[in-house]
């Protein structure tokens, strides 16, 4: 297998296992839902942006009565990852007691997603097969900037929240996978943006390590979700024993 297919499959197994475990407490731990949803959106989004899918022409250019859908996996994958970013941002807002920001987060990311769809539709992306639509220039490049920018902001919010968190040392160690995942998300977004600004310098590195950053990110987010699930169970168990 090539292009990291094995790595992608292993990442999917880890993420799916974490999602399945967290779904067992879906009805009882309402606070865990946003992160579970984020992970559930992030996984298919990253899979759809696998290099083998991005570089393949899945549909004829005139599919569905003149509706052009070349590079549609790029668009759908980006939209799923952006939606995951919105949920991650709401997790951060909730952690800092700013539930009031949730409606604004939803509005900003929803508007961003709509802008992405419009830019993709009016660009050459639906009609010109390419691995990365941003390299087509024009509206397609702006689309890529918007997608990368939204994901960058979400991961940056998570990263800064982890750094600023005032917790005991033991609990801070449990945040390491979360912080590393966010750091990789920031790095991947910056690499994507940089590959448009300086393609001669960063296009090749993005092609080589971009997918690796995405795979590592989803694995670390999944591990973070697993640690959070286990840690919450222990805290609840200790509280119940203390009451008894």
pLDDT digits (tens, 9 = 90+) for 172-212: 777 899 999 999 999 999 999 999 999 999 999 998 899 89
Percent of the chain with pLDDT over 90: 61
Residue 134, both tokens: 């941003």
Percent of the chain with pLDDT over 70: 86
Q: What is the pLDDT of residues 45-55, one digit of tens each?
A: 999 888 877 87
Q: What is the pTM of this model?
A: 0.89
| DSSP line for 15-57 | HHHHHHHHHTTTTT-GGGHHHHHHHHHHHHHHHHT-HHHHTS-
Least confident of 14-28, 45-59, 78-92, 190-204: 45-59
Residue 61 DSSP SS3 = coil
Residue 200, both tokens: 């001669």
pLDDT, average across residues 51-64:
66
For residue 109, is pLDDT > 60?
yes
Supply the mean pLDDT for the chain: 87
């Amino acid at each position: 297998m090539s292009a990291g297919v094995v790595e992608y499959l292993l990442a999917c197994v880890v993420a799916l296992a974490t999602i399945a475990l967290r779904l067992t407490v879906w009805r009882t731990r309402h606070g865990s839902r946003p992160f579970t949803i984020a992970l559930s959106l992030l996984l298919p989004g990253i899979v759809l942006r696998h290099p083998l899918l991005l570089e393949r022409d899945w549909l004829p250019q005139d599919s569905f009565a003149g509706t052009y859908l070349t590079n549609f996996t790029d668009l759908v994958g980006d939209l799923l990852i952006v939606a995951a970013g919105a949920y991650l941002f709401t997790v951060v807002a909730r952690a800092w007691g700013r539930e009031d920001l949730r409606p604004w987060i939803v509005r900003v990311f929803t508007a961003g997603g709509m802008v992405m769809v419009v830019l993709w539709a009016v660009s050459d992306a639906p009609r010109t097969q390419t691995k990365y639509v941003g390299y087509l220039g024009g509206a397609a490049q702006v689309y890529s900037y918007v997608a990368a920018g939204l994901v960058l902001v979400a991961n940056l919010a998570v990263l800064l929240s982890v750094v600023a968190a005032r917790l005991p040392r033991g609990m801070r160690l449990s945040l390491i996978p979360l912080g590393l995942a966010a750091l990789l998300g920031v790095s991947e977004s910056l690499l994507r943006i940089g590959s448009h600004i300086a393609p001669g310098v960063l296009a090749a590195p993005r092609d080589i390590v971009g997918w690796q950053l995405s795979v590592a990110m989803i694995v670390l987010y999944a591990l973070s979700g697993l640690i959070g699930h286990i840690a919450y169970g222990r805290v609840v168990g200790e509280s119940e024993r203390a009451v008894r």
